[in-house]
Structure 1
Amino acid sequence: MNNLKNTVLITVVLGSFLIPFMGTSLNIALPSIGAEFTLNAILLSWIPTVFILANAALILPFGRLADIKGRKKIFLYGVITYTFASFLAAISPSGILLLIFSFLQGIGCSMIFGTGVALISSVFQPKERGRAYGIYVASVYTGIFSGLILGGFLIQELGWRSIFLFNIPFGVLLILIVLFELKSDWSGSEGEKFDFIGSILFFFIIIALMQGFSSLTTNLGKFLILAGLLGIFIFLKYENKIKHPLLKTSIFKNRVFTISILSILIINLGTTSITFLLSLYFQYLKLFSPETAGIILILNPLSVAVLSPFAGRISDKIDTRIIASIGMTITTIGLFLFTFLNENTPLEFIIFSLILVGTGLALFSSPATNAAMNSVGKKIYGTASATVSTMVFTGQVLSMGIVILIFDIYLGNAQIIPQYYPLFLKSANIAFIVYTIICFVAIFALILMGKDKAISLEN
């Protein structure tokens, strides 16, 4: 059994490493991509956004499908899709095609992240999961800082296409491990029907809200927001009526689960855009190379990677509310410091703020995941895992949506050139103010989380 646990953990860790490696490398590569394809600030920001958007829109349907058809099977299909899309992105002849292939990568990623935590929960006992989740979170942030360092090096020495090619051999290795080492599929809801209508509704709700949020200043944007909100109402009514819904809404009666996933959404909303904004800040305003920018930005995910296993082990023994609340508080302080960013901000100040945010993330992430997964029964691990991951990527989508909206207001279609640097800085400052306020509110929700027993949702 220990060999199986280790194999599953290694499999999930490797898959969880590749995705954030791609995401952060892509952020570093944006100036190079923008220069080659002559893209404006808004279109450029959509390249990482569509990757996140595909995750947010599809991760819940794939998580539910994994409960029905098998978690290993969906994970494998995800790795195959992601690897193939990486090859296509590497040979993209235009910015538009790169957008499409980035979305395809996101589809594969949604299968991987929709099942990763569920696979861990399927083989580890509740009292062991904190450590396993800690290692899982560490792998995610190891991927992030590897993307910043190795990705920055690859971009500088071999060009931006090399970061996509980097994924391919690791993807092939992961496919072989899953095919030959994992024998079980770990499906908890065999025989149940898959909710296609609910999945389609959910997909279009996420698309409408994201597109509407990013163009909120236009009439179309307002219409899409209203359509998305109406869609949520219709979706929830529909899900409550059918026998085998995409999302069993009774899961949200569990206060621990609900507050945990909402706080996961909020902390990702508050921190996702840091790398994007600072990458542009360092390369445009400070004239740093992609490699230098990556070396500085590594400090945030490195802090998370180092501290997450420790935080996970502690969450197996101590009330998760305490650790997660402390983590959210430290993150909020770090975000507040970034609101003072300007052309003359000392590098030491930025480094300290990055480490502070990373420390807070480490103390929050694995305890919050542990709290959420331990509050539900094994029958719905796939759905619960996908819901957790949906909150992660929805938070990331909203985070980038805030940036896109603010860019639209202050920069419009302008490229980021010296005459517009003051407007870029103003946009970044406003974004960090918004993130700080939202995370500050979440601190109190975590403190009041309380303790609920697990719910199995057998019916």
Structure 2
Amino acid sequence: MRKWLPLVAICLGAFILLVDVTIVNVALPRMADDLNASFSSLQWVIDVYALALAALLMAAGSLADLFGHRRLYVAGLTVFALASLACALSPNAAALITARAVQGVGGAAMFATSAALVSATYAGRDRGVAFGVWGAVNGAAAAAGPIVGGLLTQGFGWQAIFLVNLPIAVAAVALTLKVLPVGGRGAGRLDVPGALVFTVAAASLTYALIRGGEHGWGDGQSVAAFVLAGVAAVVFVPVELRSAHPMLDLALLRRPAFSGLLAGALLYQLAAFSGLVFISLWLQDVLGLSPVRGGLALMPLAGTAFVVAGAAGRHTHRFAPRVPIGGGMLLIGAGSLLLWASVHASSGQTALFAGLAVSGVGVGLATPVLVSAAVESVPPARAGMAGAAVNTFRQLGMTLGIALLGAVFSDRVRAAAPDLHAGYASGIDRVALWSAIAATVAAVAVLAAVRTPAPAAHPATPRGGSGAPEAAPPPATRTR
């Protein structure tokens, strides 16, 4: 079992960084009371973490390729743990928001290196199993956040949702230093101009989506942020083309598999997870469930995704990546259609079960292979870059989805006023329909672009698990 200890170290970090995306939601009212802050101002406790992740993932991936994936992973864990402690000790809202931003910096370093570490440590069937477990942890963590947050907040206070990260991060650091190989440093240097321009573009776009969803798309600051994001994105292209060591090698975008996976990642995250925010509102505001019971109502998705990802990981290496990814996205679309058909004004929480369970099967199939396929579609020296890129698109997809679907949801609720039950049901109905469309488009993009034959069987010997140097993935597993 020693060969799986590196996977444990990687999954511990992945779990706490993704739990912290959603764990804060249910604690905001308690935070507002204790810190004497408005609930709306504390929304930035959630938003600034998402903004830091989206803005810094690509820069973190570039640093990982340059200085080594394990080094940056450990650094990220350390920053994340210290920032979590600062969050718990925050005396006011400003200090808490600042600490959450720093926590996002650490999370970006962890997120950018996680998939590359799995790919570099395992090969063959072991790699499929490892990515299956890693993907299961990814899917379960995001969905488990509200449940964990509700339990800790009700039992110990909101500070506990941050303090719980400390022992997990310490265990992850200790295990990483013991069982993961150091790996070599990459050649070249950091593309500082590219990193700065991309960070401005990603941060501006994320801010524009967050603010536009809250204050309207015509809001002056939202428009200015969109303009800045567009200008920075345009400037980014010549900056990268002229760089001897680009942060994002634009030549990779000419690979249909890589480009298709990026598009699929953005739409996948939008379709699978953005709608859960509005379902949670319906469960608590309309059905009157507690935060814990509301979180448990979402478990058909989290539980099914965890089981399917772990089981499918043993077999997905036998298929071309587009099969589980495309098939998984089609199932997410089917699950969304079931929600569209099941939820109405008189529905209870049981109306969610079938749709969430089917979507969970899709999440379990697609998540592990989506990231591993992107990492393996590029040269090994670009593994950190590829992992960071696909996770950046996933994070932007989540932010874009919440903003756009939130506008759809709000319009439907207002149109049905003052009938709260009918308004929320109508809003979820329309959100589910658009999620189904997004998942179907994602499936088509992946099935059309990732044209790879099923890989041949190859040895299941782990690479790096016993201190061996990192090596390139076998040709049979690479996506051309």
The residue type equivalent to 1:201 in the other structure is V
1:450/1:403 CA distance change after superposition, 3 Å: closer
The residue type equivalent to 2:358 in the other structure is L
8 Å CA contact retained: 2:324, 2:366: yes
- Structure 2: runs of 5 or more not aligned: 454-474, 476-480
Q: CA deviation at 1:385?
A: 1.5
8 Å CA contact retained: 2:322, 2:447: yes
**C-alpha distance in 2 between matches for 1:367 and 1:247:** 22
Q: Tell me the residue number matched to 1:438.
A: 438
Q: Tell me the residue number matched to 2:283.
A: 282
**C-alpha distance in 1 between matches for 2:48 and 2:407:** 15
Pair 1:235-2:228 in alignment:
no
The residue type equivalent to 2:45 in the other structure is I
Q: Tell me the residue number matched to 1:208.
A: 204
Offset from partner CA, 1:237-294 (integer Å, 9 cap, x none): 2101110011001111111121122211211122233332233222222221222112
8 Å CA contact retained: 1:264, 1:365: no
Offset from partner CA, 1:155-212 (integer Å, 9 cap, x none): 222222211111111112222223344341343x23x110111111111111211222
**C-alpha distance in 2 between matches for 1:348 and 1:12:** 35
Pair 1:78-2:76 in alignment:
yes
The residue type equivalent to 2:435 in the other structure is Y
Q: Tell me the residue number matched to 2:463.
A: none
1:201/1:120 CA distance change after superposition, 3 Å: same
Q: Tell me the residue number matched to 1:366.
A: 368
The residue type equivalent to 1:398 in the other structure is L
8 Å CA contact retained: 1:311, 1:366: no
Q: Tell me the residue number matched to 1:302.
A: 303
1:275/1:44 CA distance change after superposition, 3 Å: farther
The residue type equivalent to 2:394 in the other structure is V
The residue type equivalent to 2:267 in the other structure is I
Q: CA deviation at 1:44?
A: 5.1
Q: Tell me the residue number matched to 1:139.
A: 137
RMSD: 2.9
Structure 2 length normalisation: TM-score? 0.84
8 Å CA contact retained: 2:283, 2:349: no
**C-alpha distance in 1 between matches for 2:357 and 2:125:** 29
Pair 1:292-2:287 in alignment:
no
**C-alpha distance in 1 between matches for 2:429 and 2:251:** 39
1:395/1:450 CA distance change after superposition, 3 Å: closer
**C-alpha distance in 2 between matches for 1:269 and 1:35:** 32
**C-alpha distance in 1 between matches for 2:6 and 2:278:** 35
Offset from partner CA, 1:40-95 (integer Å, 9 cap, x none): 77545443232122111101111110111111111011101111111121233333
Mapping of 1:339-358 within 5 angstroms? 339=340, 341-358=343-360
Deviates more, 1:5-14 or 1:142-151: 142-151
- Structure 1: runs of 5 or more not aligned: 455-459
1:410/1:328 CA distance change after superposition, 3 Å: closer
8 Å CA contact retained: 1:52, 1:396: no
**C-alpha distance in 2 between matches for 1:365 and 1:181:** 25
**C-alpha distance in 1 between matches for 2:39 and 2:331:** 31
Q: CA deviation at 1:403?
A: 5.1
Q: Tell me the residue number matched to 1:457.
A: none
Q: CA deviation at 1:112?
A: 0.4
**C-alpha distance in 2 between matches for 1:267 and 1:421:** 28
Q: CA deviation at 1:408?
A: 7.9
1:370/1:283 CA distance change after superposition, 3 Å: same
Pair 1:29-2:30 in alignment:
no
The residue type equivalent to 2:16 in the other structure is L
Deviates more, 1:386-395 or 1:267-276: 267-276
Q: Tell me the residue number matched to 1:400.
A: 402
Offset from partner CA, 1:1-23 (integer Å, 9 cap, x none): x84x5332121111111122222
1:52/1:295 CA distance change after superposition, 3 Å: same
Structure 1 length normalisation: TM-score? 0.88
**C-alpha distance in 2 between matches for 1:288 and 1:196:** 49
**C-alpha distance in 2 between matches for 1:222 and 1:440:** 30
Q: CA deviation at 1:125?
A: 2.5
**C-alpha distance in 1 between matches for 2:227 and 2:148:** 42
Q: Tell me the residue number matched to 2:393.
A: 391
Q: Tell me the residue number matched to 2:58.
A: 60
Q: Tell me the residue number matched to 2:155.
A: 157
Pair 1:223-2:237 in alignment:
no
Task: Look up the SS of the partner of 1:384 in the other structure.
Answer: helix
8 Å CA contact retained: 1:255, 1:452: no
8 Å CA contact retained: 2:375, 2:383: yes
8 Å CA contact retained: 2:263, 2:445: no
1:61/1:109 CA distance change after superposition, 3 Å: same
Deviates more, 1:149-158 or 1:259-268: 149-158
**C-alpha distance in 1 between matches for 2:124 and 2:449:** 19
Pair 1:193-2:189 in alignment:
yes
**C-alpha distance in 2 between matches for 1:22 and 1:394:** 17
The residue type equivalent to 2:112 in the other structure is G
The residue type equivalent to 1:439 in the other structure is A
**C-alpha distance in 2 between matches for 1:10 and 1:139:** 10
Count of residue correspondences: 447
Q: Work out the percentage of aligned pairs sharing the same amino acid.
A: 24
